[in-house]
Structures are given as structure tokens and as C-alpha cells.
Amino acid sequence: MNQIEEDRRKSEMNQKRMLRDFLSMQVHEKRERQNVEKMQKVHELDCVKTQLEHHNREVQLIQAQNDFKKEYENKIKQDQSRLSQKYKTEIKDAINEENLKTETSLAFDKYKEQEYLERKERERLAGQVNQTQMIFKENEKAMQNINSRHDGTQSVHFLDNLRDKNLQNFMQMRLNRMEFQDKSAENYRKVISVERESPHSRNLSTDVIAHQQQAEIQDRATKYDIAQSQLKSKIKDDQKQWQTIFDRERQARNQAARDQFNLEKELMDRAVENYQSEVRNRQTATRRRQQEYMEQIQHQIAITNDRKLMESIKLNPKELITNKRDLMMAKKAIQQY
């Protein structure tokens, strides 16, 4: 009886241990499934994050392209406005030059030329007088500073230098006045020679000058149009070139981003597949161990039942051996079946 109780106690302990192991394996499998689901969710979130980053990079590239386009258009507008202003200035200068030539070349406007030259000379002389006064004032200030800082010998040298400088300025003004008188005489001789010419020759020379001026203006306008068309074509070529380079770089960046995304996705899928394979292998091993445990439990139960049956049937040793042999043969037959 003590042996039977001991065996029963061991059998119950084994059953409890196997049941505890079975429950622990169930808990472990549940945790493994939760970990797999968590890994899949993390992988999905990483994929969404990568897609959002890729989309953000594309948006930034489009924004940079738009900014570059606006900047380039503003530059083109500035260049066009500058060229238009330059063209207007050249046309205005040409018209002023034509008017000036017309005023000074006609025979009946000879006095206008003389008045214009005299007015220019008066303005120049007034400017020289003002400049001379300014120089004289500066020299006085410098002389006062030197007299206050140095002795009398140095001030005497300064006065000598100042006198020489004023003499040079006076001689230069005299030479300029003589040159202006020579130019005035030359212009007067030209006017007299024009008056002595015949009206037909004067009209002919005036028409020739007018045609020359018109041809010059037309030539300038043609050159301006050619330069503007060349600038526009150059701007368009540069814009096409920069656009091609920008598109090529954008395609390269997009291709690199796609390759990186595909590589990361492939690595992540491979890692998830390996992890799932390991989980399946562990689950298979767990199920195998569970099956073995169940078989052991059933075997232990069968042994216990056989023992209880044999204890309940009180037979002699010979019958016991025979019944035991028959029982073993029956078990083998059942297993083979």
C-alpha cells in the first residue's frame, strides 16, 4: 500500500508538473505571438515613416525648383528692364545729339552755336573760379595750420609754394581761355564758310547729315534688338540647361531614395520572415514536447490503472504473471493496430 501511495503521489506530481509546463508553454506561445504582432506593427510604422520622408523630400525638391524658377524669372525681368532703360537712354542721347548737331550746323542758327559755346565757357570759367576760390581757402587754412605749428622759415617756404601753385593755375586758365578763343574763331570760320555755300549744297549736306543720323539711330536700334534676342536665347538656353541638370539630379535622388527604401524593406521583410520561422520552429518543438508530455501522462495513467486493476484482483503469482503477459501482448497488439 505504501508503494501504491508513493506511485500515486509521484503520478500526481508528474501530472501537475506536466500541466504546469503545458500552461507555461501556452503563455510563452502567447507572448511570442504578441511579439510577432508587435514586430509587424513596428515594420508597418517604419514603412509608413519611410514613405512620408520620401514624400517630404519630393515636396522639398518641388519647392526648391519653384524658388529657383521665381528667382530666375526675376533676374530675367531685371535684365530686360535694365536693357530697356539702356535702350531708352541711348535713344535719348542720340536725339539730343541730333538736336545739338541740327542747332549748330544750320546756317541761319549760327548765333545759337555761338551762344551755346559762350554759355558753356561761362559755366566752365565760373567752375574754375569757384575751384580757385576753394583752393585759395584751403591754402589759407593750411597756411594758418602751418603757421600755428611751425616757425617762420617753414611758413615762408609754404607761401613761396603757394605763390608758385597760384601762378601755375593762372597760366593754365590763360591757356584754356586762348584755346577756347581759337575754337570760337574756328567755329566762326566754319559758319562763314557755310553761309558762302549755295543753298542747294547746304540743303544737300543737311539731308546727308540727317540720313546719316537716321542710319546711326536705326543701326543702334538693330544692334539693340540683336543683342536683346541673343540675350533672350542665351537665357532660354541657360534655363534649359539648368532645368536639365536639376531634373537629372532630382531623378538620381529619387532613384537613390527608392533603392534605399527597397533595400530597407527587403532587409526588414527578411528579418521578419526569419523571426516568424524561428517562432514556428519553437512552436513545433513546443507542440512536440507537449505531445511527449501527454503520452507520458497517458502512459503513467495506464500504468497506474493497470496497477490498481491488478491490486483489485487478487491472484496467485502464476496467474498474475499470466495476466501480466496477456496484458503486455494486448498492449502490443493495440499499438500495432
The better pLDDT of the pair 332, 61 is held by 61
Give pLDDT, residue 152.
46
At 31 the three-state DSSP class reads helix
Please check the confidence at residue 243 and state whether its pLDDT lies above 60.
yes
Give pLDDT, residue 334.
56
Q: What is the mean pLDDT of residues 69-78?
A: 77
Give pLDDT, residue 274.
82
CA–CA distance from 199 to each of 113, 185, 194, 195, 208 (Å)?
A: 20, 23, 9, 9, 14
Q: Which of 55-59, 167-171, 232-236 has the lowest mean pLDDT?
A: 167-171
| Phi, psi dihedrals of residue 198, rounded to the nearest 5° | -75, 155
Assign residue 151 a region (left: φ > 0; alpha: ψ between -120 and 50; beta: otherwise): beta
Closest CA to 24 of 286, 281, 280: 286
For the chain, the structural domain boundaries read 8-289
Reported as a single tens digit per residue, the pLDDT across 212-232 is 777 777 787 787 778 778 877
Reported as a single tens digit per residue, the pLDDT across 190-205 is 665 655 555 555 555 5
Residue 94 CB neighbours (<10 A):
16
Reported as a single tens digit per residue, the pLDDT across 300-321 is 777 776 666 656 555 444 444 4
CB 91 within 8 A of CB 294: no
Please check the confidence at residue 35 and state whether its pLDDT lies above 80.
yes
Closest CA to 43 of 257, 279, 281, 267: 267
Q: Which of 203-207, 275-279, 289-293, 319-323 has the lowest mean pLDDT?
A: 319-323
Q: What is the mean pLDDT of residues 15-32?
A: 76
Q: How confident is the model at residue 1 (pLDDT cuts 50, 70, 90)?
A: low
Q: Could you tell me what percent of the chain has a pLDDT over 90?
A: 0
